[in-house]
Amino acid sequence: MIQSLADLWLLFDSPAPTLVVITGPSGAGKTTWCAELAAHARERGLRAAGLLSPGVFADGYKWAIDVVDLATGARRRLAQRRASPDPTSPTRNWQFDDDALTWGSAILTAQGPCDLLIVDELGPLELLHGQGWHQALPLFERRAYRLACAVVRPSLLAHFTARFPAAAIIDLAR
């Protein structure tokens, strides 16, 4: 079982591309874990690519989410917390920026081979509605990476693993 970044490095020696799911409850450190993995990859001369979605906090409150292109470091505002939840939206607590979603989608669509591919995160838009960064799913199937990490919340893990049953799972709640 993979429980640390050190364990994950062993997967780079695998003869076949490996897909790993990073899961855990909100606040477990999934994005931080992925950011550290990307930094370690770059330190080792590996090409890290994909999207990272760090939260934007003020006074301990997460009020927005950014998106970062791991290949270039370019950053955009992805979503802002809604004043009140929208029960009709698949992202009931967040208002997503269409331009940022299009930008992230274009990055995934153009993605070529890399050593490390990270997509943070695949949520209800992607896994239930075929929207958002759904381009990541065929990207994982193409396997043009040595190691890929998909961040998926626990409530959607079964949807992801139904499509990718061989994916290793790292649960940060443990």
d(CA 104, CA 27): 23
Give a yes or no: residue 54 inside a domain.
Answer: yes
Pairing of the two strands 114-122 and 48-52:
parallel
Give a yes or no: residue 13 inside a domain.
Answer: no
Give a yes or no: residue 113 inside a domain.
Answer: yes
Give a yes or no: residue 60 inside a domain.
Answer: yes
Give a yes or no: residue 152 inside a domain.
Answer: yes
End-to-end CA distance of the chain: 12
DSSP 99-124: HHHHHHHHHHHH---EEEEEEEEE-H
pLDDT value at position 150?
98
Question: What is the span of the domain harbouring residue 140?
Answer: 30-171
pLDDT value at position 91?
85
Domains identified in the chain, total number: 1
Give a yes or no: residue 7 inside a domain.
Answer: no
pLDDT value at position 25?
92
Task: Identify the three-state secondary structure at position 28.
Answer: coil
Give a yes or no: residue 22 inside a domain.
Answer: no
pTM greater than the 0.75 cutoff: yes
pLDDT value at position 26?
87
pLDDT value at position 16?
79
Q: For each successive 10 residues of the chain (174 residues), what is the average pLDDT? A: 62 80 92 92 93 95 96 97 90 93 96 96 92 94 95 96 94 83
For residue 54, the domain's CATH number is: 3.40.50.300
